Structure 1
Amino acid sequence: MLVKWIRCTVVDPHGFERGQRKWAGLLGEPGFRSQGGGWSKARPHVAHVFSFWESRAFYDSFMARSHDRLASGQSGTYKDFQATLFDHRFDVKTGFEPRFTDVDVVRVAHCRVRADRVEHYALMQEKVWNPAMAGSPGMVRGLFGEASGNEFLVMSMWRSEAEHGKYRRERVERLLLRAQTEADVAALTGDVVRLEASWTV
């Protein structure tokens, strides 16, 4: 499965929201699984959108045919656009499904990992972080994705902001030490995204 993560700064919220609803046109596209997104909790006017495709070939075909027509509805409503493609490497918890209807919050961690530490980083994700997240009340599902250039995405979906906040307070510092994350990671950015139901396709 291919994951596309888009983030941008919205300059015209009403126009952006209106355009976002036009992405319902993705339904019926060959290989399309789902799309959802919302607003950054920490940074006003920053929007995140996540879309899921069965494979790179289906995604490339969509980009060549239908993308520009759907995207034109949001032209001029945002700036600082960034999009990254990740290959799904493994699930956080089990049986990842790209669904947004039963969760309120998505947490994303975007890591650039030192080349000589990639295997260690992936192993720690599997052996330390995954069990901790999977065992946390309110964590519904998640995935670990890989892009070129030693870039990784850890995406976790939570039933509520309060449950994610509790996990952060209780666990994260201890887990960072145990997984030796500082030694692995050259750069780490993250965000908590409050989902907008009307953006889900």
Structure 2
Amino acid sequence: MLVKWIRCSVVDRRGFERGQRKWAGLLGEPGFRAQAGGWSRLRPGVAHLVAFWESRAFYDSFMARSHDRLAAAQAGTYSKVQTRLFEYGFDVKVGFEPVFADADVLRLAHCQVHPDRVEHFTLMQEKVWNPAMAGSPGMLRGLLGSAAGEEFLILSVWQSSAERGKYRQERVERLGLRAQTEADVRAVDGDVVALEPSWTV
């Protein structure tokens, strides 16, 4: 499965939201699984979207044929857009499905890992971080995706922000020490996204 992460700096919020509804046109696309997104809780005016495709071939076909027509509805509503593609690696918790009807919050962690630490980083995701996140109340499902060998996206879906708040800072720091995250990761970026149900396709 291919995961696409899109981050937009929005200048016309109402126009952007109107345009977002046009992405319902994705439903007829071969290989399309789902798309969801919402507004950043931490950065005003930033919107995030995640889209899921059966494979890179289906995605490339869509980009060549239909993408520009659907995207035209949002032209001029954002000042900057960044997109990243990740290949599905493994589940966080149990069998991941791109389903968002039961969720309020999406958590994104984008990690750039030192080349000689990729194997260790991946092992620690499986042995330390996954069990801790899977045991957190309100954490529904998630996945780890990778790109270019050293870039990772950890995506987790949560029932509510109150539940996500229980996954506290000191616990994260303790887990980070155990997993030697600082030694593995050269840069990390992330966000907490309040899901907009009307954006789910």
What TM-score do the two structures reach when normalised by structure 1?
0.98
Match of 1:153 in 2: 153
* CA-CA distance at 1:170 after TM superposition: 5.4
Aligned residue pairs, count: 201
- State the percentage of identical aligned residues: 75
Q: Secondary structure at the match of 2:118?
A: helix
Q: What CA distance in whole angstroms lies between the structure 2 residues aligned with 1:169 and 1:159?
A: 19
Q: Are residue 42 (structure 1) and residue 32 (structure 2) matched?
A: no
Partner Cα separation in structure 2 for residue 170 and residue 121 of structure 1: 20
Q: CA deviation at 1:76?
A: 0.5
| 3-state SS in 2 of match to 1:61 | helix
Specify the alignment match of 2:133 in structure 1. Answer: 133
Shift of 1:168: 2.6
Alpha-carbon displacement from aligned partner over 1:41-60 (angstroms, at most 9, x marks no partner): 01000000000000000000
CA RMSD of aligned residues (A): 0.8
CA distance in 2 between counterparts of 1:82 and 1:131 reads 31
AA matched with 2:160: S
Q: What are the superposed Cα offsets for residues 23-73 of structure 1, whole Å, 9 maximum, x if unpaired? A: 000001000000000000010000000000000000000000000000000
Aligned counterparts of 1:89 and 1:78: Cα–Cα separation in 2? 31
- 2:104 matched to which residue of 1? 104
Q: Give the partner amino acid of 1:161.
A: S
Mapped partners of 1:149, 1:95: distance in 2: 23
Aligned counterparts of 1:168 and 1:152: Cα–Cα separation in 2: 22
Inter-partner Cα distance in structure 2 for 1:41 and 1:168: 16
Q: Where does residue 172 of structure 1 map in the other structure?
A: 172
- Structure 2 regions of 5+ residues with no counterpart? none
Runs of 4+ aligned structure 1 residues displaced above 6 Å come to none
> Which residue pairs with 2:62 in the alignment?
62
How far the C-alpha of 1:149 sits from its partner, in A, is: 5.0
- The alpha carbon displacement at 1:169 in A equals 3.6
Runs of at least 5 residues in structure 1 that lack an aligned partner in the other structure: none
Tell me what 2:162 maps to: 162
Partner deviation per Cα, 1:79-125 (whole Å, 9 max, x = no partner): 22100000000000011000111100000000000000000000000
Secondary structure in 1 aligned to 2:100? coil
- Matched residue type, 2:132: A
Q: 23-32 or 144-153, which moves further after superposition? A: 144-153
